[in-house]
C-alpha cells in the first residue's frame, strides 16, 4: 500500500515494533534477524483501520435487530448503554477485540458510552489493539434517553479532557483519546461549541455521527434551523479534526462545505444497509477530494466487525449507484488502510508497509480454494476473501493472532464471558 500501490514479492523485516525494510533481499539488508515467519502463499498488507466503531455495543449483537435508527436507539441501544457497568464493558471490549484482530483490524476509532470509558482503555492497553477512544457526550434532556446517559455540557467536556490527560498517548502512543458528541440530536449547541473549542485547543479529534438518516436531518433542521453539516460548521466543528460517521444525506452544498473544511467521512455501508439508512454518496465525496474511510459501526447494527465485509459492500454499493468501476477493489483497500490512517492523523505511522512505520500488519492466506486463482491481489482481497482468511495479525510488532488463533486469550472463554455479561446487561435494561 505504498503511494503507487506497488505489489512486491520478498521479505518484510520488523525491529522494535517498526518496519525496517521491505522487498526482495530485505532480510539480507537488515542484518541478523530473530523470529522468522514463513508467509509463503499469502499477502502481507497493512492492518485495517476501522474509523467508526462502538466497542461497548458488541454485547448488544442480536438484541437490536430490524429497527430504524431512532427506534433502534430509543428502544434498544440507549437502554443497553445505560445498563453497562465496568464488568460488562470489559467483556464487550474483549469480545470486540477478538473479532477485530481475528479479521485483520489493527487500529480503530471508537465511540464508547457515557460512563466508565477508563475500563475500555485499560482493557485495550492489556490486549494491544491500536485505538482512539472517546466517551460519548449527550447533554440534551429528552424523555426517550435514559437519565443515566445525560450529563451537563461542562461535565461531559471535563470528563473527556480528564480521560485525555490519563490516556492520550499511553501505551507507547498506541492509545489516544477523542471528543465524542453523539450526534447533533442529542447535544445542545453549547456542548458542540465547547467541543469545538476543546478540540482546537488540545488538538484532539472529534468523533460524531452526522446525516445518517433523513429523520435525523429533519430533527436537526427543526432544532437548529440549519442543515446538519452547516450546523456543525456554525458551531465551529467543521475542520480536518472532525470525523463524521455516515454522511448519507449530505446535499451538494454540504459536500462543498465538507471539502472546503477538510471534514473526514467515516463510511459504514453494512450499518447503513441494515438500519435502512440509505446509500452514501461515496463516489461524489471522493471526487471532491474528501477523505472517506471505513468502519463497521457496531455489532448492534451490522452485526459483524469484519473489514472484509465492509470493503466488499463499499465497492458493490457504488456499483449499484453508478455502475461498476467507480469505486474499485483498489479504492476499497486504500480506504480500509491508508485513508483510515489519514483520517486519524496517523498516516506517518501506520496505513502502509514502509520502512520507519509502526509494524501494524496482517497476513492473508490465499491458498484456500475459494480464493483461487487470484490473478489480482486487490480483487482477491475485496471480492473473494473473508476475515477468517487472516492468519497473522501484528500490532506494534506484537503478534496478536498467530495461525488464525488469538495469542492473548482463549476465544471460547471470551464468548462465554460475553454471553453471561449480555444476559445481565439485557436484564438490567429491561429487555
Nearer to Zn ion, 81 or 297 (CB): 297
CB atoms within 10 A of CB 426: 18
Euclidean distance between CA atoms 21 and 5, whole angstroms: 17
- Where along the sequence are the contacts to Zn ion (CB under 5 A)? 297
Report, in Å, the least distance between residue 206 CB and Zn ion. Answer: 14
Euclidean distance between CA atoms 23 and 376, whole angstroms: 18
Report, in Å, the least distance between residue 298 CB and Zn ion. Answer: 6
For residue 71, what is the enclosing H or E element?
Answer: helix 69-72
Nearer to Zn ion, 244 or 329 (CB): 244
Report, in Å, the least distance between residue 209 CB and Zn ion. Answer: 5
In 82-142, the DSSP E strands lie at: 105-111, 130-134, 136-137
Euclidean distance between CA atoms 218 and 356, whole angstroms: 47
Euclidean distance between CA atoms 319 and 314, whole angstroms: 9
Report, in Å, the least distance between residue 271 CB and Zn ion. Answer: 7
Nearer to Zn ion, 297 or 365 (CB): 297
Euclidean distance between CA atoms 246 and 355, whole angstroms: 33
| Cβ–Cβ < 8 Å for 296, 305 | yes
Which residue has 501484528 as its cell numbers?
A: 394
Euclidean distance between CA atoms 417 and 422, whole angstroms: 9
- Residue, CB closest to Zn ion: 297
If phi > 0 it is left, if psi is from -120 to 50 it is alpha, else beta; for residue 171 that is left
How many residues are there in the chain?
Answer: 431
Report, in Å, the least distance between residue 51 CB and Zn ion. Answer: 11
Nearer to Zn ion, 211 or 349 (CB): 211
Report, in Å, the least distance between residue 268 CB and Zn ion. Answer: 7
Nearer to Zn ion, 139 or 297 (CB): 297
Nearer to Zn ion, 297 or 360 (CB): 297
Report, in Å, the least distance between residue 40 CB and Zn ion. Answer: 39
Nearer to Zn ion, 54 or 358 (CB): 54
Whether the upstream peptide bond of residue 281 has omega within 30° of 0, thus cis, is no
Amino acid at each position: 500500500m505504498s503511494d503507487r500501490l506497488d505489489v512486491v514479492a520478498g521479505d518484510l523485516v520488523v525491529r522494535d515494533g517498526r518496519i525496517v525494510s521491505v522487498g526482495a533481499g530485505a532480510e539480507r539488508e537488515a542484518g541478523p534477524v530473530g523470529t522468522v515467519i514463513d508467509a509463503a502463499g499469502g499477502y502481507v498488507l497493512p492492518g485495517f483501520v476501522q474509523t467508526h466503531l462502538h466497542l461497548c455495543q458488541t454485547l448488544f449483537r442480536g438484541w437490536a435487530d430490524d429497527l430504524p435508527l431512532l427506534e433502534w436507539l430509543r428502544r434498544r441501544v440507549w437502554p443497553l448503554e445505560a445498563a453497562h457497568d465496568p464488568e460488562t464493558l470489559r467483556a464487550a471490549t474483549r469480545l470486540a477485540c477478538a473479532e477485530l484482530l481475528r479479521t485483520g483490524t489493527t487500529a480503530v476509532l471508537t465511540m464508547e458510552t457515557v460512563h466508565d470509558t477508563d475500563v475500555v482503555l485499560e482493557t485495550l492497553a492489556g490486549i494491544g489493539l491500536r485505538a482512539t477512544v472517546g466517551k460519548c457526550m449527550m447533554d440534551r434532556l429528552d424523555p426517550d434517553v435514559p437519565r443515566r446517559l445525560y450529563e451537563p455540557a461542562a461535565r461531559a467536556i471535563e470528563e473527556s479532557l480528564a480521560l485525555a490527560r490519563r490516556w492520550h498517548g499511553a501505551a507507547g502512543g498506541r492509545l489516544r483519546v477523542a471528543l465524542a458528541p453523539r450526534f447533533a440530536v442529542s447535544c445542545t449547541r453549547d456542548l458542540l461549541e465547547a467541543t469545538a473549542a476543546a478540540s482546537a485547543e488540545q488538538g484532539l479529534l472529534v468523533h460524531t455521527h452526522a446525516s445518517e438518516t433523513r429523520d435525523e436531518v429533519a430533527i436537526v433542521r427543526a432544532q437548529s434551523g440549519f442543515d446538519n453539516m452547516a450546523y456543525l460548521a456554525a458551531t465551529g466543528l467543521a475542520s480536518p479534526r472532525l470525523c463524521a460517521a455516515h454522511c448519507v444525506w449530505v446535499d451538494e452544498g454540504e459536500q462543498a462545505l465538507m471539502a472546503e473544511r477538510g471534514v473526514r467521512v467515516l463510511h459504514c455501508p453494512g450499518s447503513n444497509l441494515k438500519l435502512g439508512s440509505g446509500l452514501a454518496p461515496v463516489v461524489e465525496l471522493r471526487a471532491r477530494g474528501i477523505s472517506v474511510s471505513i468502519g463497521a459501526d457496531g455489532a448492534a447494527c451490522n452485526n459483524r466487525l469484519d473489514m472484509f465485509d465492509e470493503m466488499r459492500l463499499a465497492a458493490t454499493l457504488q456499483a449499484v449507484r453508478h455502475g461498476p468501476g467507480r469505486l474499485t477493489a483498489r479504492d476499497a483497500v486504500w480506504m480500509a488502510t491508508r485513508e483510515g490512517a489519514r483520517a486519524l492523523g496517523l498516516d506517518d505511522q501506520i496505513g502502509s508497509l514502509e520502512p520507519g512505520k509502526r509494524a501494524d500488519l496482517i497476513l492473508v492466506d490465499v491458498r484456500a480454494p475459494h480464493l483461487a486463482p487470484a490473478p489480482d491481489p486487490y480483487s482477491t482481497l475485496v471480492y473473494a476473501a473473508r476475515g477468517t482468511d487472516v492468519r497473522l495479525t501484528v500490532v506494534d510488532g506484537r503478534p496478536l493472532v498467530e495461525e488464525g488463533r488469538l495469542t492473548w486469550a482463549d476465544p471460547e472463554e471470551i464468548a462465554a464471558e460475553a454471553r453471561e455479561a449480555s444476559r445481565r446487561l439485557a436484564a438490567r435494561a429491561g429487555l
